[in-house]
Amino acid sequence: MKKARRSLALLCAALLLLTLAACGATSAADGGAGKSALYAENGMNAAADNASDNSASTAASGTDLGVSPGQTTLPSADKIIYSGGVSIETRTFDDALTGLTKLVADSGGFVENSSVTGASYDNTGAQRGYRTASYKVRIPAEKFAAVSDGLKALGSVTSSQTQADNITMQYTDTQAHLDALKTQEARLLELLAKAQSMEDILKIEDQLTQVRYEIESLTSQLKNWDNAVSYSTLTVTISEVAYLSQDGENGASYGRQLAEAFVNSLYGVGRFLKGFLKVLVAAVPILVLACGVTLLVLWLRRRSRARKAARQQPPADSGKDETK
């Protein structure tokens, strides 16, 4: 009996030990798995944070340097087309034109076109009226501001405007399109060299013609933009005046202005009479011819009437014969 109890006690003790061992292993496994999952999660979060930090740093660097994702070189300078217009009043018209021409030449620019209107001269060669000059000049972009300031020395600037057109995006897109077309042209040439049938050759040549046409068009557009960017356009209008608009109290008095207006009107009447006299002289041959034709018609009509009257009048001798 004692042996049975002892055996039962040993069996219970063994079962207890096995149960405790199993619980310990389960707890250890759960703890290890939990730690592994935690470590993995922390590692992933750290990697994500590092990736975010690196991305942010890269983005910041890209923003500072002007480099877009996937771009290995810095972008070219902005393509900006500068243009402007200036209106000037001056008492010394000829000197102003000379100064403008010299200013443009010294800056390395050139006069694209020009015109002078409004001048008239009398029989003695004296000038009557006031002149106006319009110049379109091309100036190197880096000298545009300096030339615009230099125009102030030519007279009184009454109006001035400047415009800047940034075509960087259009230029970049056009350049990229041109590069793609050149790549396509090279591939078409390779296909053309390998083509066997006449049908394939004709199709490839047709595509090649279209691609080359687009290449020429885009190349021309880029050259025009380069020229417009390199040389700014400036339109200058110079007006000859007797007194400047900004003179104010130092300018001509109201009486003088009236006198000048009256004299200018007389010059206008004189120019009208001269023009009318020219037209009249030019019309003299026509008037002489018209008068001659009119006189001839009147003479013919009078002669016709005289003949008609003579026919209707009875002869005087016929009446005397009947009486006898």
Poorest-pLDDT segment among 41-50, 169-178, 296-305: 41-50
Query: Tell me, what's the pLDDT at 253?
Result: 60
Residues 6+ positions from 135 with CB-CB distance below 8 Å: 100, 111, 113, 114, 235, 236, 237, 238
Tell me which amino acid residue 141 is: A
pLDDT at 175 exceeding the cut of 60: yes
Span 8-33, average pLDDT: 47
Query: Tell me, what's the pLDDT at 276?
Result: 81
pLDDT at 323 exceeding the cut of 60: no
Banded model confidence at residue 311, pLDDT cuts 50, 70, 90: confident
pLDDT at 221 exceeding the cut of 60: yes
Span 79-108, average pLDDT: 94
Q: What values do phi and psi take at 238, rounded to 5?
A: -115, 120
pLDDT at 55 exceeding the cut of 80: no
Helix ranges (H only) for the chain are: 2-65, 93-106, 144-150, 168-194, 198-230, 254-312, 317-323
Query: Tell me, what's the pLDDT at 321?
Result: 52
Span 83-88, average pLDDT: 94
pLDDT at 47 exceeding the cut of 50: no
pLDDT at 19 exceeding the cut of 60: no
pLDDT at 184 exceeding the cut of 60: yes
Tell me which amino acid residue 16 is: L
Q: Could you give the CA distance from residue 248 to residue 180 in angstroms, rounded to a whole number?
A: 63
Tell me which amino acid residue 127 is: Q
Tell me the pLDDT of the chain averaged across its residues: 75
Percent of the chain clearing pLDDT 90 (strictly above): 44
Q: Tell me the per-residue pLDDT of 293-307, one tens digit each, with 9 for 90 and over.
A: 888 888 888 888 877
Strand ordering across the sheet containing 110-117: 110-117, 132-140, 231-240, 80-90, 156-166
Query: Tell me, what's the pLDDT at 255?
Result: 67
Query: Tell me, what's the pLDDT at 127?
Result: 59
pTM (predicted TM-score): 0.52
Span 27-34, average pLDDT: 42
Token digits of residue 86: 């200036």
Query: Tell me, what's the pLDDT at 258?
Result: 72
Superfamily of segment(s) 80-166: Ribosomal protein S6/Translation elongation factor EF1B (3.30.70.60)
SS3 for 219-251, per residue? HHHHHHHHHHHHEEEEEEEEEECCCCHHHHHHC
Tell me which amino acid residue 80 is: I
Poorest-pLDDT segment among 52-56, 226-230, 257-261, 296-300: 52-56
Q: Tell me the per-residue pLDDT of 200-214, one tens digit each, with 9 for 90 and over.
A: 999 999 999 999 999
pLDDT at 51 exceeding the cut of 80: no
**Residue matched to tokens 């079962």:** 15
